[in-house]
Structure 1
Amino acid sequence: MLGMTGLAFMQGVLDGTLPAPPIGKTLNYRVTDVAPGAVTFEGSPTFDHCNPIGTVHGGWYGTLLDSCMACAVMTMLEKGTGYTTLEYKVNITRTVPLGMQVAARGVVQHMGRSTGVANGELRGVEDGKLYATGSTTCIVLRP
């Protein structure tokens, strides 16, 4: 990763020349769009992603949003730098039904030398409804 820009790395994940993040297989989501300062993941929750009362666990929403927002920040990184999530927040506005396809889009709001800030939305692919929002601050790691 450090041998290419963050945008080139994410484009490699999108086109399959680089491996997708392993968590995507576990939580049933994949990258579907990459642009400078914006990344979209799509997926759908299964019964394996439910909490004890049978609804989609908040961690599923959080992981999808953390992924798209942090990867949006990654697209702004120059060659030789890394990043990690410093903090993130998620607001769930409604429950995603099992099997429903959703798109999580992260967009960079600020990119500085040491931090990047992004917002995200989780929307139904077919109905366009808002299911959750998020915000993140990522720290830029320089060698």
Structure 2
Amino acid sequence: MTTIEPRPPAVEWGEPRSRTITWHDPMIVAAMARTMSGLDFFLAMRDGTVPHPPIAMHFDFEIDTVAEGDVLFHCTPDESAYNPLGMVHGGLVCTLLDTVTGCSVHTSLPAGLGCASIEIKVNYLRPIHVVDGRPSRLTAHGWVVRPGRRVVFAEGDVRDADGRTVATASSSCLVFPLEDMPPSS
């Protein structure tokens, strides 16, 4: 077995960077979701009366518009989301698409029901380049294409600041009673 000895950072790497992420108790947010329709829940989140979940805080996802079966989010990824080639990692784009497709489904549900992704297919159409040391602001749109009692189908896309589509997704979400979820502690 080969052991690789850690090397001290090279001077040309520059100073290490860090990022602090702050969020509220996700189980309290989940308890709030049980009492509201999906549309009311996401409108309250957009308006700041319900806190954003930790994943949204991690990637700085912001809600722009919310309607039944339709949501629009945005984010401007910082360099902590870059891949080794200095572009935004596809995993962030997939997470953004999973978020808007799932949220679009949730906005179509009455109080007491929730949803979870059971499948997502992402098509990456172009890389998200860093320009002048900053990536492009990304806008993600998710919408329901076929409602259902147990499974709902949604689609989404992500566009860069110039309006070019960088990725698309199709998703299916399982609908279930939120009473089946464990209670908050």
Query: Which TM-score tier does this pair reach, normalised by the shorter chain?
Result: over 0.9
Q: Secondary structure at the match of 1:68?
A: helix
Which of 169, 172, 175 is residue 137 of structure 1 equivalent to? 172
Q: Which amino acid counterpart does residue 108 of structure 2 have in structure 1?
A: M
- CA distance in 2 between partners of 1:104 and 1:115 (Å): 22
Counterpart of 2:30?
none
Q: How many residues align?
A: 142
Cα-to-partner distance string for 1:29-73 (whole Å, 9 max, x where unaligned): 211110111011101122110122222111010001100110000
Structure 1: gaps of 5 or more residues: none
The 4+ residue runs of structure 1 with deviation greater than 6 A are: none
1:90 CA displacement: 0.8
Partner of 2:34: 2
Give the gaps of 5 or more residues in structure 2. Answer: 1-32, 180-185
Task: State the secondary structure of the residue aligned to 1:70.
Answer: helix
Match of 1:22 in 2: 54
Correspondence list, 1:1-143, <5 A: 1-98=33-130, 99-125=135-161, 127-142=162-177, 143=179
- Cα offset for 1:85? 0.7
Indicate if the aligned counterparts of 2:153 and 2:172 stay in contact, CA closer than 8 A: yes
Conserved? CA contact 2:86–2:129, under 8 Å:
no
Secondary structure class of the residue paired with 1:25: helix
Two-structure CA RMSD over aligned residues (Å): 1.1
Q: Which protein is bigger by CA-based radius of gyration?
A: 2
